[in-house]
């Protein structure tokens, strides 16, 4: 069993590379967050312009291609009262929308705990194990 310092240099280089990649990914994630924030701000500004100016759509030539921009609104619902919603769906023949689920993150944590305690998984559950190296 290799102890600290006894790992061959080729493996140390791979561990150093893992740290470099982790740091690079952290920077890219940060850059992505900044881009998403700027994009959200511009969406909001332009949605207001399209609404205030009553513009349904506009086509502009950008980089040699015609690009059409249009106002779009999407709903992201949150269920405030599941039983009330379920009743409405059943009354309106929309029962196909009702699904029984288990939260994926909760199930993942539960399965990790069971594995760590050398206990079997519940019947009907299997896992795909992703092997990584932790870095602190």
- Dmax of the chain from CA atoms? 71
For 66, 98, 107, 121, 124, the CA distances from 101, given in Å and listed in that order, are 44, 10, 11, 18, 14
| Per-domain residue ranges of the chain | 8-74, 76-122
Which pLDDT band, with edges at 50, 70 and 90, does 136 fall under? confident
For 31, 62, 65, 67, the CA distances from 40, given in Å and listed in that order, are 14, 20, 23, 19
Is 0.75 surpassed by the pTM of this model?
Answer: no
pLDDT of residue 23: 96
* Collapsed DSSP state (helix, strand, coil) of residue 1: coil
DSSP state letter for 70: E
Nearest by Cα to 17 from 133, 121, 115: 133
- Over the stretch 69-83, which tens digit does the pLDDT of each residue have? 999 988 888 889 999
């Amino acid at each position: 069993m290799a102890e600290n310092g006894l790992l061959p240099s080729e493996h140390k280089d791979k561990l150093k590379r893992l740290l470099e990649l982790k740091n690079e990914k952290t920077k890219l994630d940060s850059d992505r967050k900044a881009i998403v924030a700027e994009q959200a701000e511009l969406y909001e500004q332009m949605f207001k312009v399209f609404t205030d100016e009553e513009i349904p759509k506009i086509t502009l030539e950008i980089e040699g291609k015609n690009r059409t921009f249009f106002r779009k609104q999407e709903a992201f619902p949150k269920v405030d009262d599941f039983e009330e919603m379920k009743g409405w769906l059943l009354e309106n023949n929309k029962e196909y929308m009702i699904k029984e689920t288990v939260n994926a993150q909760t199930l993942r944590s539960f399965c990790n705990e069971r594995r760590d305690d050398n206990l079997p998984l519940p019947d009907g559950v299997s896992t795909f194990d992703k092997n990584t190296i932790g870095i602190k």
